[in-house]
Structure 1
Amino acid sequence: MERLSLSDYEAVKIPVPWGHISGRWYGNRKERPILAIHGWLDNLGTFDRLIPLLPDYIGVLCIDLPGHGRSSHLQPGMCYSVYDYVFVIPLVMKEYGWSKVSLMGHSLGGVLSFIYASLAPHTVDMIVSLDILLPLRNDIDYMALSIEKQLLDVERQKLGNYSEPPSYTHSELGKVLAKGSFNSVSPELAKHLLHRQLAKSKLYPERFYFSRDIRVKYYHYIDIDQALGAEMARRIRKKPYLIIKGSLSPYLASHSYEAISILAEDNPHFEFHEVENGTHHLHLHAAEECAGYIVPFIQHHRPPALTSWTLSAKEDKPILRNRKGFFVWNKKKRSKL
């Protein structure tokens, strides 16, 4: 199997009403790609280690969500919300004229994929969700803090009292990002996220600050309780759905169990796998193991187009993989989570 190259991409700017969505389209640019969406405070660099492990006949369009990476920030006075992020998916589809979309999302990107699939299931043909299904339950203290921070930001805009965010040396940046991710991203792997979210300080030579919109830290969250999550899952039933969980991560919590059971019920296209010692960013630190589950899933549900096949026996020979550890979710195995 030939693989995608991290250097073979087309940089894209997708026009949206507030500016543009920035992205990289890897691999095949003649057919509809998989749309890959990163997590909260991250950017498309989160897929850097996974991309080179995927089959090269497919394309993967990785995007930066609004306010993240190199995508446009919202206009002053506006607030970020999950609903606005979900809206990015159909905007991308409209730009390229897709009637269907294949989704791969990590964390917030996985939540957006689940929400969009429940709203427009007829337009989704495949979902890969990395260490998430429903968002963690929100609490009133976070909501209060979010409003307080948003009001503070509005006041600073009104007064023109904007200064540079805290800046760091190159040697400090990896440690700062690792701490911010609760050590889910190691300092050694931080470079994959840093290369799209740094700006050079104008105040302190040789220092850099995070260029993402500070408002994304306090975006308007969505609280999906167990009953709502179950109803949303019923709208997605029978879809090819792959969930990969990090064993050390808390993000697939008990309130997701019913929704997972519904997605798996009588669904031969549902898969659930767990990466041993996997943190929330398991696709970065355990990219090879994640690819071991994702590649067969893609090959089954997005096989090569007939026009891209060759007569080479070596290339066309089916790849048989060891399915040891494969596990299809059912209610009796809730302890696996």
Structure 2
Amino acid sequence: MAKRLLRDVLITHKNLTTSPLRINYKHRHLHTDDRIPKEVKIPVQWGHISAKLWGNEQEQPILALHGWQDNAGTWDTLAPLLYEKRPILAIDFPGHGYSSWYPPGMMYYPWEFVRLILFIKEYYKWDKISLLCHSMGAIAGLRFASLFPDEVAFYIAIDSLVSDDYDLHLVVDKYPKTLRNIQIAQTRLEDEPPSYTIEEMTKIWHMGTMKSVALESVKHLLKRGSKPSSRDPNKYYFSRDSRLKHTLFNPENKKFVEALVKRLSCPSLYVKGLDSPYASDEFSVEMREMIRKNNPKFDCHFVPGTHHVHLNDPEKIADLILPFYQKYNLI
């Protein structure tokens, strides 16, 4: 059953029509049934950014940003609860989902995702951008909203705001191995990764997130995160860029992060999963409280759930986002 489900998804994806052209949200209908997300391609210098759009083109969508090694499928359960209020454009970051990988020899740098937000905003000629973000996407979203406070209508973050604070000695100790792994990964870009059955992939993804993504939720990420194996027709492989596993996350100066978060001034909603280990370190909590102190339009909520609470229990998040829209007259 699981094999047939994914096979149907992959076949459907092959038959989807995508538009590489710029979308005019005022004049052009992207699809006739708003309940079915539309595949969209945004051209970039190294290829394209893939995205899926819920809702119609009559109004500017919210830009939804996923977490590290996830993809736009992370919004598959929440977006249907929200798009009637505002359309949602969920992208795959470079190297993730259906988006193009960076060219050989290049590596993924988290601050580049901030520049990607700026690129998308300018590409669509949006006056202000609205952000719905999770994990890595939430960190990128806060960086953008803090750097360009007059260009963000609102910012919603799920389970992350700033990068977690790590022991610098452990970070430095890990760098030599990471750099060597990066070198190896660069030589294997054309190689097909190991393949698995759908049941095996589901368990691997579930365990790889420390059980944060519920077993029944993995299917939403597998739609865009797997491909059929050319070696075994009954197996599939994880299709994201393997270089993502070895990215160098550079710890940032705490004074720099503090100066950044003090600039967050737009209406902001932060939802923290109580069962998530992330954003719980002393520095992350300190920065959260600094935002609360400096931004009168900062709403903070704690809900039972894992790091992927928005995917596993979307109603909990929707019940906070919809009142947030109303409170600040965002719809």
Provide TM-score, normalisation by structure 1: 0.83
Q: What residue in structure 2 maps to residue 232 of structure 1?
A: 260
User: Does structure 1 retain, via aligned residues, the 8 Å contact 2:206–2:213?
Assistant: yes
**What amino acid does structure 2 have at the position aligned with 1:137?**
D
Give SS of 2:327's match.
Answer: helix
User: Does structure 1 retain, via aligned residues, the 8 Å contact 2:66–2:92?
Assistant: yes
Segment of structure 1 superposing worse, 257-266 or 47-56 = 257-266
Segment of structure 1 superposing worse, 191-200 or 253-262 = 253-262
User: Does structure 2 retain, via aligned residues, the 8 Å contact 1:28–1:56?
Assistant: no
User: Does structure 1 retain, via aligned residues, the 8 Å contact 2:54–2:80?
Assistant: no
Q: What residue in structure 1 maps to residue 175 of structure 2?
A: 143
Superposed displacement of residue 248, structure 1: 1.2
Q: 2:217 aligns with which of 184, 189, 194?
A: 189
Counterpart check, 1:241 vs 2:268: yes
**What amino acid does structure 1 have at the position aligned with 2:249?**
Y
Q: What residue in structure 2 maps to residue 81 of structure 1?
A: 109
Q: What residue in structure 2 maps to residue 323 of structure 1?
A: none
Superposed displacement of residue 144, structure 1: 2.7
d(CA) in 1 for partners of 2:104 and 2:294?
Answer: 48
Q: What residue in structure 2 maps to residue 312 of structure 1?
A: none
Q: Deviations over 1:152-208 (max 9, x none)?
A: 123446xxxx43211111221211110111110122110010000111111112000
User: Does structure 1 retain, via aligned residues, the 8 Å contact 2:34–2:56?
Assistant: no
User: Does structure 1 retain, via aligned residues, the 8 Å contact 2:63–2:130?
Assistant: yes
Q: 1:10 to 1:94 in 2, by over 3 A?
A: same
Unpaired segments of 5 or more residues in structure 1?
Answer: 305-337
Superposed displacement of residue 302, structure 1: 5.0
Q: What residue in structure 2 maps to residue 284 of structure 1?
A: 311
Q: What residue in structure 1 maps to residue 186 of structure 2?
A: 154
User: Does structure 2 retain, via aligned residues, the 8 Å contact 1:50–1:291?
Assistant: yes
User: Does structure 2 retain, via aligned residues, the 8 Å contact 1:28–1:57?
Assistant: no
Seq. identity, %: 39
Give SS of 2:215's match.
Answer: coil
d(CA) in 1 for partners of 2:273 and 2:91?
Answer: 23
Q: 1:151 to 1:71 in 2, by over 3 A?
A: same
d(CA) in 1 for partners of 2:206 and 2:34?
Answer: 23
d(CA) in 1 for partners of 2:36 and 2:91?
Answer: 16
User: Does structure 1 retain, via aligned residues, the 8 Å contact 2:165–2:284?
Assistant: no
**What amino acid does structure 1 have at the position aligned with 2:54?**
Y
Q: What residue in structure 2 maps to residue 63 of structure 1?
A: 91
d(CA) in 1 for partners of 2:66 and 2:317?
Answer: 15
d(CA) in 1 for partners of 2:317 and 2:282?
Answer: 22
**What amino acid does structure 2 have at the position aligned with 1:297?**
F
Counterpart check, 1:45 vs 2:46: no
**What amino acid does structure 2 have at the position aligned with 1:206?**
N
d(CA) in 2 for partners of 1:34 and 1:141?
Answer: 40
Segment of structure 1 superposing worse, 222-231 or 243-252 = 222-231
Q: 1:59 to 1:258 in 2, by over 3 A?
A: same
d(CA) in 1 for partners of 2:197 and 2:241?
Answer: 20
- State the Cα RMSD in Å: 1.8
Q: Deviations over 1:7-46 (max 9, x none)?
A: 4332210011100000011113222211100000000000
d(CA) in 2 for partners of 1:193 and 1:145?
Answer: 28
Q: Deviations over 1:182-240 (max 9, x none)?
A: 1101221100100001111111120000111111112232323543222111111x321
d(CA) in 2 for partners of 1:294 and 1:65?
Answer: 23
**What amino acid does structure 1 have at the position aligned with 2:252?**
I
How do 1:269-280 and structure 2 match up within 5 A? 269-276=297-304, 278-280=305-307
User: Does structure 2 retain, via aligned residues, the 8 Å contact 1:229–1:256?
Assistant: no
d(CA) in 1 for partners of 2:126 and 2:174?
Answer: 37
Give SS of 1:273's match.
Answer: strand
